[in-house]
Amino acid sequence: MDTQKTVLIVEDEKNIVDILRFNLQREGFGTYEAYDGEDGLKQAREKKPDLILLDVMLPKMVGFDVCRALRDEGDNVPVIILTAREEETDKVLGLEIGADDYITKPFSMRELIARVRANIRRTSMATAATAADAAMPVAGNLSINTDSHQVFRGGQAIDLTQREYELLTFLASHPNKVYSRVDLMEQVWNYGYVGDDVRTVDVTVRRLREKIEENPASPAYILTRRGVGYYFAV
């Protein structure tokens, strides 16, 4: 299940913000709102939305300058320009400064939502492809991108918790070496005293196997050395 996608609405006309917020939330998006260009830029930096709907004529800083500033900072968030005018120059300028799309007011909500979805989908596919390409193969069809903290099975990203990721990368970076549950609590969980908590290791290993193994009942990557502990087989 994907985490909720968020859209930052930068628009100074409150009634347009209201209708955008209502429709985006009804379609399952989270929303942020800014009523001028400076606040829009600030929220884009802080909240890292999945997409920005950006009006052109805004108080304090026009939409084009907001978009240009984000691109200059290397931020590739998809931006859809909302232009009030039919003028061709607005559209051309918007695309030249790095906007991904534009939509002319008044717009149909159905079309706007379709554009929002298409632009978010295109970006996340491109990001996933880049991360998968940069991932290091570790064993079988399993690969890890330690920059993005993502794990891939056959090029498909696997959704791991931070602890599952840390356990996997720790074991995979010491292939075929067997670690006891106490070792793993100390190395991966950084716990000094472990006591009964070693069960946590078993539970985490089981969850990890369910996510990375073709057949979790007969694992190929994380194996058990009975009475000793776990190891990553290569």
Site residues for Ca ion per CB under 5 A: 12, 55, 57
Q: Which residues of 194-219 are buried (b: 16+ CB within 10 A; e: fewer)?
A: beeebebbeebbebbbeebbeeeeeb
Q: In this structure, what are the phi and psi dihedrals at residue 151, rounded to the nearest 5 degrees?
A: -115, 140
Q: Which is nearer to Ca ion, 12 or 186 (CB)?
A: 12
Query: Of 75, 116, 79, nearest to 94 (Cα)?
Result: 79
Q: Are 182 and 202 within 8 A, CB to CB?
A: no
**How far is the CA of 71 from the CAs of 9, 64, 100, 182, in angstroms?**
18, 11, 11, 48
Closest CB to Ca ion among 57 and 220? 57
Q: How far is the CB of 29 from Ca ion (least distance, A)?
A: 21
The distance of closest approach from Cβ of residue 82 to Ca ion in the complex, given in angstroms and rounded to an integer, is 8
How far is it, in rounded angstroms, from Cα 77 to Cα 101? 12
Give the residue ranges of DSSP H helices in the chain: 14-26, 37-47, 63-72, 88-96, 109-134, 162-172, 181-187, 199-212
Kindly state the smallest distance separating residue 118's Cβ from Ca ion, in Å.
Answer: 24
- Residue 26 Cβ vs Ca ion, minimum distance, rounded to whole Å: 23
Q: Which residue is nearest to Ca ion (CB)?
A: 57
Query: C-beta of 57: minimal distance to Ca ion in Å?
Result: 4
Q: Which residues pair with 156 in a beta bridge?
A: 153
Nearer to Ca ion, 12 or 213 (CB): 12
Q: What are the Cα distances from residue 100, in Å, to 26, 94, 176, 209, 221?
A: 24, 8, 47, 40, 42
Residue number with CB closer to Ca ion (12 or 75): 12
Residue 57 or 158: the one with the smaller Cβ distance to Ca ion is 57
Q: Which is nearer to Ca ion, 12 or 38 (CB)?
A: 12
